[in-house]
Amino acid sequence: MGDKVVAYLDGWYPFSQLHLEIFKGIIYISLMASLLYLAIKYQQQSLIKSERQYKELFYSNPTPLWIYDRQTLQFLDVNDAAIRQYGYSKSDFRKMSVLDIRDEGDHGKVIDAAKNMTDDFKLSGKWQHVKRDGTKITVQISSHKIGFEGRDCVMVMAQDVTRQIQQDEKLQRLYSTEKVLKEELERNMELMRHSMVENQKLAEVIDRIYNMVVITDTYGRISWVNQAFVDFTGYQLHEIEGTTLDFLHGPETDEDLQRKIMEALHVNDFAVFEVLNYTKLGVQYWVELTISGVYNDQNEVVRYISIQNIITERKQSEEKLQQQNKILRKISWTNSHAIRKPVASIISLVELSKEMSDVEELKAIHGLIGICSLELDEITKEVSKMMSDMNVKE
């Protein structure tokens, strides 16, 4: 193209060969400089766009994230989830250090953890954090060393596990309550045995007991139930007399349970069973079934006494806790393994791009940032769905 321009000008004015070569070089350099400028400008705009996409993914992540300086412990950036969880604004966070969301007694541990972090990634376990309103929460911390704004920094993911711990504590309280009830049942059963032996006034004792009581023959056929059983299940004695307790079973009850119970009784193994039963109206309920034998003077079993302790609340709490733990474990794994990789890569690539001017290198970095952004977007959507599912199950 430069040759054509020179040839055209040469037709109007006679140039020397040297002038023509110089003019040709100037045209070529000007053209290349313009193209290079446009290419660099395009790549810079693309990088700015990728950096903006990364920030949108960082800020919209459903798990609280922040970046802090390892030397000063100052917050450098936080996402929207952290702002919602802790109650501070973004400007508040940037005036604070990570010590400001910790109990004073933990400050030494926090300083040591930041100073002695040698691995690029670390699962730091459970920590107590303090929200702006003074509420204390327990969080599962994942930390990742990164370079940010030219500083030695740490990116933190803080998964709130307070509800999980509360559920664990609630379950332990239920276990303790059941233990007390079991001890009371043992005392009541001893009273019943004594009553049976002494004066056969078993019914008078049993009807004063809150728990459901069933008396069967040695084949497991019902001969008597107390009032608590009638009130709870809806079945009258005349409706069920002569049947075995498996009439209470339903679609989700263990099909082999009745066989297992009878096999245990035949070898005098008075085990404790947890059974899913159904009332007359079809309502599910869980019981802890305790069976004891009543013996005659020849030490032979003449009947069985079955005590049924309602454990529906505890079983429901166990099931809910198992589901929540399953989801929380998956979220924790995603946060600690899946999210940290693309986030750390994007931050590093953005920082690296600020030191580059070569078009091809910038183009390569832009492509990598785009891939990491798409990966992070998919992971963020997955975490959001898991958290939504957990909230629905509550």
According to CATH, the superfamily of the domain at 63-160 is: PAS domain (3.30.450.20)
The pLDDT tens digits for 279-300 are 999 999 998 888 888 877 788 8
Q: Which helix (H) or strand (E) covers residue 142, if one does?
A: strand 136-148
DSSP 3-state of 122 = strand
C-alpha closest to that of 162 among 126, 116, 204: 126
Query: Rounded to the nearest 5°, which phi and psi values hold at 122?
Result: -150, 135
- CA–CA distance, 293 with 264 (Å, rounded to integer): 12
C-alpha closest to that of 139 among 97, 83, 82: 82
DSSP state of 197: H
CA distances from 133 to 65, 78, 95, 156, 184 (A): 20, 18, 17, 22, 44
- Third-level CATH fold of 166-310: Beta-Lactamase (3.30.450)
Q: For the chain, which ranges sit under pLDDT 50?
A: 2, 5-6, 9, 13, 15, 47-49, 197-200, 392
Q: Are the C-beta atoms of 303 and 217 separated by less than 8 Å?
A: yes
CA distances from 388 to 67, 93, 385 (A): 26, 27, 5
What single-letter amino acid sits at 376? L
- CA–CA distance, 217 with 255 (Å, rounded to integer): 22
The pLDDT value given to residue 31: 58
pTM here is: 0.43
